[in-house]
A and B are shown apart, each in its own frame.
Chain A
Amino acid sequence: MIEFELNGKKVKSERPASHRLLDVLREEFRLTGVKCGCGEGECGACSVFMNGELVNSCILSMGRIRGQSIITIEGFRETKRFAVLQDAYDKTGAVQCGFCTPGMIMASEALLSRVPDPQEEEIRDALSGNLCRCTGYNMIVDAVLLAAKEGKGIW
């Protein structure tokens, strides 16, 4: 039995310690905003926060999250910061097929919460663990720049 906090609520899972958090989130808790792209920490589609830090849920075993706080895109969606990011992604055309978008949003939040007014280079570094096969990245970088501008003061 593994107890942890998921999007602010105390939860339990009977899954073995070696199972991936990603699978538990999708199959047991039906949080399907968390995607499986590569399964080896390369693509960032499964990004979540553990105690406020960006991590890949595909290479995070259940035993490692015992007693930790996990936030998924579904939990982050309830915040004002998400609304600003959503609007910025929308306005810049940063979403095409959408598969990478939850992970990109989480990585954007991880950056902005640390660096509220980032330079382009810092954005590219912060998103370097997230792959997008559609946009060519420039629109996503623009989205983060716009979010930083529109959301001044909330990060």
Chain B
Amino acid sequence: MVEAYFPENLPEALRILGDEDVIPYAGGTDIMVGKSFKKPFLYLDKISELKKVENLEGKIRIGACSTYAALLRDERIPKVLKESIRQIASPSIRNLGTIGGNICNASPAGDTLPILYALNAYLRLESENGFREIPIREFITGVKKTARETSWLLTEIIIPSGEYEYSYQKVGARRAQAIAKLSFVGIHELTAGIVSDIRIAFGAVGTTVLRDQKAEKELIGKKASDIDIPATIQYYEKIIRPIDDQRSEAVYRKTVCLNILREYLENELTEGNRQ
């Protein structure tokens, strides 16, 4: 068995991915926690196309192998995404770990995922035979499961450029190095007190990120001060179905999610809160 591949550019990487059974290696921070590897690594770090960030026609196209540290230094990245990245692991892991890795791992607790769902992120997947761009919610299909076929590579994460009013909360056992017990993001736009846009997402309380567009539609067009908060909480109370695991318990997760949501609707859903 060839023990590793070191492509120098994207076409070469896609060719190998089409022909061989390999593990794409981006930052490696999650892969290397494993102890034995049955397939060779496909190293992606020499591929400059995967580390570019571009702002084109109102969209930011983030190369999938951009490290967290690089994104924190990039002024084009929206503050709400940076806020979640700043709370990932530790400085040394943020120097290696990549946003594409966070997505392809598809952990229910992946820290950037609720933000990317709320931003309606699209993912660009490429193979030797072409490309496609799909919403992130169609890409992540379950716990550690994605729609990526083995010959496809995640090459870009596409989000709208610009800033939002937002509130982000990650609840973990400690501030650094913690895997989320749960996370919350609310982003919104208010126009003269009217909710013109709102997106609410929860992480680590289901197999994938929980975002309910029906509930959001109920809030859009209403005056922020007229929102029926108890009814909204009651709605989310029914659809948030977390589990007990080594990091937390279902009852804790649900209670805290609803408390954070209430706090957001009561106090954060205001104008001029672009942090």
Q: Is the CB of B91 within 8 A of A63?
A: no
Q: How far is the CA of A20 from the CA of B92 in the complex (A)?
A: 16
B25: shortest Cβ distance to chain A, in Å? 7
Q: Mark A18-42, 1 if CB is under 8 A from B, else 0.
A: 1010000000000000000001111
Q: Is the CB of A40 within 8 A of B4?
A: no
* Known contacts A42-B177, A59-B28, A128-B175: A66-B92 contact under CB 8 Å: no
A131: shortest Cβ distance to chain B, in Å? 8
Nearest-CB residue, chain A, relative to B30: A59
Interface range, A side: 20 to 34
A67: shortest Cβ distance to chain B, in Å? 8
Q: How far is the CA of A64 from the CA of B46 in the complex (A)?
A: 9
Number of A-B residue pairs at CB separation under 8 A: 84
Q: How far is the CA of A63 from the CA of B176 in the complex (A)?
A: 28
Q: Is B235 an interface residue (CB 8 A)?
A: no
* Known contacts A18-B37, A63-B43: A129-B92 contact under CB 8 Å: yes
* Known contacts A58-B32, A128-B175: A16-B95 contact under CB 8 Å: no
**Residue from A17, A55, A66 within 8 A of B96 (CB atoms):** A55
* Known contacts A59-B28, A60-B28: A107-B41 contact under CB 8 Å: no
Q: Is A61 an interface residue (CB 8 A)?
A: yes
Residues in B whose Cβ lies below 8 Å from that of A66: 6, 43
* Known contacts A44-B92, A63-B43, A66-B6: A129-B177 contact under CB 8 Å: yes
Nearest-CB residue, chain A, relative to B69: A53
Q: Is A146 an interface residue (CB 8 A)?
A: no
Chain B binding surface SS class: loop
* Known contacts A42-B177, A53-B69, A55-B95: A63-B89 contact under CB 8 Å: no
Q: Is the CB of B4 within 8 A of A63?
A: yes
Q: How far is the CA of A125 from the CA of B176 in the complex (A)?
A: 8
* Known contacts A56-B92, A61-B28: A18-B177 contact under CB 8 Å: no
CB contact list, B159-209 vs A, under 8 A: 175-177
- State the interface size on chain B (CB cutoff 8 A): 25
Q: Mark B24-49, 1 if CB is under 8 A from A, else 0.
A: 01001101110001001101010000
Q: Is the CB of A41 within 8 A of B3?
A: no
Q: How far is the CA of A1 from the CA of B25 in the complex (A)?
A: 19
Chain A binding surface SS class: mixed
Q: Is B90 an interface residue (CB 8 A)?
A: yes
Q: Mark A54-96, 1 if CB is under 8 A from B, else 0.
A: 1110111101101000000000000000000000000000000
Residues in B whose Cβ lies below 8 Å from that of A143: none
* Known contacts A44-B92, A129-B89, A129-B90: A20-B32 contact under CB 8 Å: yes
B36: shortest Cβ distance to chain A, in Å? 9
Nearest-CB residue, chain B, relative to A65: B45
**Residue from A17, A59, A110, A130 within 8 A of B41 (CB atoms):** A17
Q: Is A47 an interface residue (CB 8 A)?
A: yes
Residues in B whose Cβ lies below 8 Å from that of A50: 95
Q: How far is the CA of A54 from the CA of B90 in the complex (A)?
A: 10
Q: Is the CB of A128 within 8 A of B177?
A: yes
Residues in B whose Cβ lies below 8 Å from that of A139: none
Q: Is the CB of B32 within 8 A of A60?
A: yes
Q: Is the CB of B3 within 8 A of A17?
A: yes
B167: shortest Cβ distance to chain A, in Å? 21
A66: shortest Cβ distance to chain B, in Å? 7
Q: Is the CB of A64 within 8 A of B3?
A: no
Q: Given A44-B92, A53-B95, A61-B28, output 10 extra A-B contacts at Cβ < 8 Å.
A: A18-B3, A20-B32, A41-B29, A41-B33, A53-B69, A59-B93, A61-B25, A63-B43, A128-B90, A129-B177
Could you list 9 examples of A-B contacts with CB < 8 Å? A18-B4, A18-B41, A40-B33, A41-B33, A53-B95, A54-B91, A63-B4, A64-B25, A64-B45
Question: Which B residues lie at the A interface, using CB under 8 A?
Answer: 3-4, 6, 25, 28-29, 31-33, 37, 40-41, 43, 45, 69, 89-93, 95-96, 175-177
Question: Which A residues lie at the B interface, using CB under 8 A?
Answer: 16-18, 20, 39-42, 44, 47, 50, 53-56, 58-61, 63-64, 66, 107, 110, 125-126, 128-130
